[in-house]
Each structure stands twice: as C-alpha cells, then as structure tokens.
C-alpha cells in the first residue's frame, strides 16, 4: 500500500473540535467533497468505500442480520486499506455490542452480529459487560442508561467514546492519507450527532429497538421510553 | 582505481549542492502545498504562510557555499576527503530540508486553526535549521584540512581543475 501524503488537503480542512457534541460540523458536506477532489484516484476510491459504508450503515433499519453478515464478509474482502477496515470493524463491533445489550435487556438470545466479539459475547452473555469492560469501559453505564430509558444520554456516551476511539487511529504523520480517513470518520460522527435532536433521538432509538428486536418490538410499544 | 577516486571526488564536490537542492525542493513543496491548502480554508493572512513555506530553501544556499569551499584541484589524495565531507554534508542538508518542510507544513496547519501559536509552532522548524547550520559550518571548517594541492610530485595525480568562478 502506497503511503501518500496530502499536505494541501489536510491543511485545507478546518480543525475538528475535541468533542463530537457541537452545534454544527466545522465544514459542510458539499465543501468537504470539493476538498476531497485533491485526493489521487486510488485514495479517492478508498474514501468512496468509506462513504458507501456510511451510507449503508445509516440505512440500518432495512438490513436483516443476514444482510449485515453478507455485507461484513464482502467488505472484508474488498477493503485493502487497514485503517479503513479498522474504522469499519470498530463501527460494526459497537453495533453488535449495542444490539447484544438491548437483546439481553429484552430477555432475548445473543444477536447473530458480526465482528470480532460475537463469540465472546455469546460465551459471556450473562456477564454484565460481556467481559469486555477493559476494551469498552462504557458498556456498563450504557446498559444502565438504556435501562433508565435515557436513550439520548446513552447515545451521547457512545458517540463520545467512538469519537475518542477514532482519534486514537491518527497516524504519526499528520499529513498521511490515513489522517484523511480519521478526519472523515470523526466528521461523520459530528455530522450524525448534530443531525439528532430530542425528537430525532427518540425516533432513532425506536429504530434501533426495531432493528434489534424485530418482531418483539411490541414489547416496548405499551410502555414508551421517555427521552430526557 | 585512481579514476574511481577522482570520480568520487567530483561526486563529493557537487553533492552538497545537488542533495541540498533535492532537500529544498521537497521541503518547500511540502510546506508550499500546506500553505496552498490553508489558503482554501482562510479568508486572509496568507503571506506569513507563503513566507514560512520558503524556509527550507536555505539548505540549497548552504550547499552552494560548501561546494565552493570544497572546490579545488581534485587529486587522488584529496578525493576521499572531498567525497566524505561533500556527501555527508549534502545528506545532512537534504534531510534537514525535507523534515523542515514537514515542520513548516505542521506549523501552517496548526497555526491556521489557532493563530496565536504561530510563533511557537515555527520553533521546531527553527531547531531543524540549527542542525543544518551545524553541518554547514563544520563542513566549512573541515574543508580547510583537505589538501588543496598534491603533497608531493611523485605521489600525487593531479587532474583537471575546476574553472575558477
């Protein structure tokens, strides 16, 4: 893999805030796409893979477990950039963890899920944090918040964790292509967060419940969980 | 063997200029690209970024001065000295210019986001410049110890001298 540097592109991007919960992203999507034209063809293709994944990930309601598993294996074969794969795998790992927490709370079996923790979750399904507290210190608190019906607070915590975790992938060379991927990933988290408000948060939570529980969704129908 | 030594002498003589130029090209290009990128994101105040991006050009100047200080009639006796000092000084200048360019690019990138740290952000580039100056100065000092002319008529092999500038 060629290690390319993008002095012009990185310097043309406004700095990202230290936290995800800001009023709006520091650069609009249109402007960001314009700047990304400075990438060469190979790296632009990698960025396109990331954008396709994000687009797919946001349509999560339409996906069955089998769809997700198929997409995971397809991505695993298609993606050659290790940083991009790490970003995607972490996103899917988080998704599996959240699904497992919600299904356990609803008294259901472990989710099929994808990613590196599926087996460990299955083995430790009745451990409060699936024995993953070292790697994911937010699991316990997240579970607690979900139990209290504080969907937005839980989501905020997960975003915060994801935002910091993506930042850890920042390469030593701040102008390397991998820095562009890290920037895009963090920008997307900000953009996704800022597109949420209390109502949207409630809707998203319901979506996630549907996505996780499928036909058991009506379990919650009688007792809606208030948004803080 | 003598021919090879003489060739190495010529390499050493031109190395500071050539390697210094390569370093300056890369360094200025890196910092210049960052300055151009910053212009896309800023409404004004570009001048200091363009100025900063020229900082790695000093290495080619040092390289030229070292080349003139090494310039003499190349002989079998002085060729190894010319090669050693010239190539090593050239490498030091080349790497310092390349990495100084990266330092300047970083300074442009961070001070664009936080203008009040512009002065401080240039410090790493200045420190790198300091090392280039060390290499430059001591190359000049040592070049004085390289024999300018054959030590004795029967041992030395004088070859074509450089034209005097």
* pLDDT score for B156: 46
Q: Is the pLDDT of residue A217 over 80?
A: no
Which residues in chain A have Cβ-Cβ distances shorter than 8 Å to B106? 174-175
Specify whether the CB–CB gap between B21 and B63 falls below 8 A. yes
Question: Given pLDDT bands bounded at 50, 70 and 90, which one contains residue A67?
Answer: confident
Say whether A176 sits in a helix, a strand or coil. Answer: strand
CA B2 to chain centre: 28
pLDDT per residue as tens digits for the range B1-53: 889 999 999 999 999 999 999 999 999 999 999 999 999 888 888 889 999 99
Tally Cβ neighbours within 10 Å of residue A100.
26
- How would residue A1 be classed by pLDDT, with cut points 50, 70 and 90? very low
The whole-number average pLDDT for the span A172-194 is 93
Binary contact (A11, B102; C-beta < 8 A)? no
Query: Region B55-84: what's the mean pLDDT?
Result: 95
Q: Which positions ≥6 away from B124 have C-beta within 8 Å?
A: B103, B106, B107
Q: Residue A124: exposed, middle, or buried by beta-carbon count in 10 A (0-12, 13-18, 19+)?
A: middle
Q: Which helix (H) or strand (E) holds B66?
A: helix B58-70
Establish if A14 touches chain B: CB-CB under 8 angstroms. Answer: yes
**Residue A40, pLDDT score:** 93
Computed over every residue of chain B, the mean pLDDT equals 90
pLDDT score of B128 more than 60: yes
The radius of gyration of chain B's CA atoms, rounded to the nearest angstrom, is 20
- Read off the tokens for A187: 């920008």
**Confidence band (pLDDT; 50, 70, 90) for B90?**
very high
More confident of the two residues B62 and A218: B62
Q: What number of other Cβ atoms are within 10 A of residue A133's Cβ?
A: 13
- The model's confidence at residue B63, banded by pLDDT at 50, 70 and 90, is very high
Q: Is the pLDDT of residue A25 over 60?
A: yes
| pLDDT score, position A203 | 64
CATH class for the region spanning B2-143? mainly alpha
Backbone angles phi, psi at A176, to 5 degrees: -70, 160
- Which of the four pLDDT bands, split at 50, 70 and 90, describes residue A213? low
Where in chain B does DSSP place strands (E)? none
Size of interface A-B (CB pairs under 8 A): 51
**B interface residues, A as partner, C-beta within 8 Å:** 30-31, 33-41, 102, 105-106, 108-109, 112-114
Interface confidence, given as ipTM, is 0.77
Q: Which residue has better confidence, A129 or B137?
A: B137
- The confidence score (pLDDT) of residue A214 equals 59
Q: pLDDT value at position B84? A: 96
Tell me: pLDDT of A216 over 70.
no
Rounded to an integer, the average pLDDT of B69-83 is 94
A11 to chain B: which residues are within 8 Å by CB? 33-38, 41, 105, 108-109, 112
Q: d(Cα B152, Cα A139) in Å, to the nearest integer?
A: 83
Q: Over 80: is that where the pLDDT of A169 sits?
A: yes
């Amino acid at each position: 893999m060629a290690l390319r540097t993008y002095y012009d592109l990185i310097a043309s991007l406004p700095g990202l805030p230290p936290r995800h919960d800001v009023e709006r992203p520091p650069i609009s999507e249109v402007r960001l796409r314009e700047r990304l034209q400075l990438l060469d063809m190979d790296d632009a293709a990698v960025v396109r893979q990331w954008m396709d994944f994000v687009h797919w990930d946001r349509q999560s309601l339409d996906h069955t477990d089998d769809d997700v598993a198929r997409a995971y294996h397809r991505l695993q074969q298609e993606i050659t950039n290790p940083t991009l794969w790490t970003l995607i795998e972490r996103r899917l790992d988080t998704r599996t963890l959240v699904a497992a927490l919600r299904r356990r709370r609803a008294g259901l079996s472990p989710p099929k899920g994808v990613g590196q923790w599926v087996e460990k979750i299955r083995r430790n399904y009745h451990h409060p944090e699936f024995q993953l507290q070292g790697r994911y210190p937010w699991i316990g608190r997240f579970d607690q918040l979900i139990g209290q019906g504080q969907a937005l607070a839980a989501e905020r915590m997960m975003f915060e964790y994801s935002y910091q975790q993506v930042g850890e992938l920042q390469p030593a060379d701040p102008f390397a292509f991998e820095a562009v991927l890290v920037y895009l990933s963090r920008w997307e988290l900000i953009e996704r967060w800022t597109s949420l408000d209390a109502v949207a948060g409630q809707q998203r939570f319901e979506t996630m419940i549907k996505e996780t529980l499928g036909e058991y969704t009506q379990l919650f129908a009688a007792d809606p969980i208030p948004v803080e | 063997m003598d021919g090879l030594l003489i060739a190495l002498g010529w390499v050493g003589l031109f190395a500071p200029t050539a390697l210094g130029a390569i370093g300056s090209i890369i360094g200025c290009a890196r910092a210049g690209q960052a300055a151009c990128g910053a212009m896309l994101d800023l409404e004004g105040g570009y001048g200091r970024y363009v100025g900063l991006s020229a900082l790695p050009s000093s290495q080619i100047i040092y390289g030229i001065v070292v080349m003139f200080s090494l310039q003499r009639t190349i002989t079998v006796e002085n060729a190894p000295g010319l090669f050693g000092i010239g190539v090593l000084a050239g490498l030091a200048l080349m790497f310092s210019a390349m990495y100084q360019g990266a330092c300047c690019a970083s300074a442009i990138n961070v001070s664009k986001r936080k203008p009040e740290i512009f002065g401080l952000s240039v410090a790493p580039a200045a420190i790198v410049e300091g090392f280039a100056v060390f290499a430059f100065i001591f190359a000049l000092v040592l070049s004085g110890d390289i024999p300018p002319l054959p030590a004795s008529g029967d041992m030395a092999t004088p070859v074509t001298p450089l034209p005097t500038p």
